[in-house]
Amino acid sequence: MTGDSRNHKRQRSGLRSKALSFACFLSFALLAHRFWPYLTSAAFPADNSLSLDEDSLCPQVSAISPSNYASLVDSLDEEYGTNEFKLKAYESLGAAVRIPTVCYDDLGTPEEDSRWKIFYDFHSYIEKRFPKVHATLQRTEVATYALVYHWQGTDASLKPLLLAAHMDVVPTNDATDDDWINPPFSGYYDGEWIWGRGSCDDKPGVIGSMTAIETLLERGFRPTRSVILAYGIDEERGGPTGAAAIGEYLVKTYGKDSISMIVDEGGGYSDMGGTIFAAPAVAEKGYLDVRMDVLTPGGHSSRPPKHTGIGILAGVVTELEANPHVPGLARDRTYYQSLQCRAKYDAAFPSDMRKLVLESQSSDEKLRELAKRLDDFDPAYSASAGTTQAIDIIYGGVKVNALPEAVYAIANHRIADHSSVSELQDRFANIVAPVAAKYNMSLDAFGKTVGLEASTWGLIKLSDAFESALEPAPVTPTTGSGPYELLSGTVLSTLKTNLRTDNPPDDAVVTPGLSLDTRHYWSLTKHIFRYGHRGAADGYNGAHTINEAIRAEAFLEQIRFFTRLILNADETNLLE
């Protein structure tokens, strides 16, 4: 058995474990959010053993395939299934991976930092690889290296469809190069996997959408609805240069609320108990990095105080970790909606948990009982349904015989969709205040004095470490929403007509999820979906780590998804 086969079997085995498979699903999808679309519930059979209000659980839309373009999409599927097309598409991605468009946290401006220049190589590559795209679509360079493409439709009254992705990748660690099965920027296709940094995150989004449009242009297709492509250059550090400039450009060019829907990278799908659960994200967690400075007089180590600055900082960190954030299980929120889908459609979901989910719809007592049970049932529950806290950085001291005057730590937070930046800051200050009082220190909590106005001993200061504060995103509508119904139907039709050889399950369910990183596009539309149409088992070792690789057949399905989405959006009455 090859190492690849063993890895595949391990993934499949893990999915069969009830609790761990549940955690895997929620971690992969990054959860779901509120509201459900109007739909035909006959799309999938209901579990006849369910009782109570089973019909309200996780309704599903019908699969949507192009009707006006039915012969075109069938013909394209035939072409996509040929060995010639597959090898060309796989090499398109492989060659893109071989261009190391690495994003560093300390990048300067494009004008002053030469490390950006590698993106010119990427520009040149896609110009040559996709000649019809570059001969037909209008390309605009934004912030020097970010790219926006406009494919003009015949009906200017229709709001455009926007497909977003990013060209940049995270760095690799030179010390781990020997741990890669194939070199980290090889782009090597071994017959099953395409290897290298960016093969999963997110060059398939760029090359997949380009390939779909190039192929449509080869067939003479001209859209009715305009299509926009937006490719960022520093998504891996939050997009302050690329996506921020793209967002400003798009608002200036098209106006606010000018886009029918945006599809960016994000959720995917997972085989859970013989049913595929696809999770396009419709919301994003908030974000805040909190810096904790402890400032003391310092002095000689031969005459230390009872508690040094490092000791006091340790007390602050200990108190924070002793008071973790409590997850919130609410009926109108992401996690609970995912739970309902599992209860209705996952055959492996325990019957007692299914009953509890059903009863919790109308009983607050059962909802609280369910929350208690989830602590043991789902290892990812706390991180999924609540605000996360991680102490990632700590600094202090420069000499063994000198007491440090200034030490600090930084805590990273992903703010739950039911919370806010201010709520997190207030909670943080309330936890730290008793520590400051214990050591007779002043506390400056995000610009507000708490407790002692002044202390001769020292100061604890809480602040936004990198001006990173971000509120949870506006929620994309789902219930009765045309864009959500269109996306869901496209996902289902792509899954049902897949060209894969590994025989995925026939049944599929769409559940809203939660993701990150579209903050710069929020004003363009309220219909933002983060979805990459890739299976949880289609990444060899995940992203941002060694042995990043994508299953080649999964990349082919991403191309098919982009193709069907463009054609569906072109003829639908579900979009503005």
Annotated binding-site residue numbers for Zn(2+) = 166, 201, 236, 264, 544
Reply yes or no on whether 235 is catalytic: yes
Beta-carbon contacts of 334 under 8 Å, excluding residues fewer than 6 positions away, are: 31, 32, 33, 34, 283, 384, 385, 417, 512, 513, 514
CA 184 from chain centre, in angstroms, equals 22
Residues of 371-393 as b/e, b for ≥16 C-beta within 10 angstroms? bebbeebbbbbbbbbbbbbeeee
**Token pair 């990278």: residue:** 265
Which of these is catalytic: 235, 293, 346, 485? 235
Give the C-alpha distances (Å, rounded to integers) separating 77 from 71, 276, 465, 557, 563.
10, 21, 50, 10, 10
Cα angle value 498/479/342 (rounded, 5°): 55
Distance CA 397, CA 309 (A): 9
Reply yes or no on whether 352 is catalytic: no
Helix (H) or strand (E) holding 242: helix 242-254
Reply yes or no: is the peptide bond before residue 502 cis, omega within 30 of 0: no
Q: Residue 300 phi/psi, 5° resolution? A: -85, 140
CA 337 from chain centre, in angstroms, equals 18
Distance CA 264, CA 532 (A): 7
Helix (H) or strand (E) holding 319: helix 309-322
State the burial class of residue 561 (Cβ atoms within 10 Å of its Cβ: 0-12, 13-18, 19+).
buried
Which of these is catalytic: 168, 271, 293, 485? 168
Binding residues: 166, 201, 236, 264, 544
Q: Residue 474 phi/psi, 5° resolution? A: -60, 145
Residues known to be catalytic: 168, 235
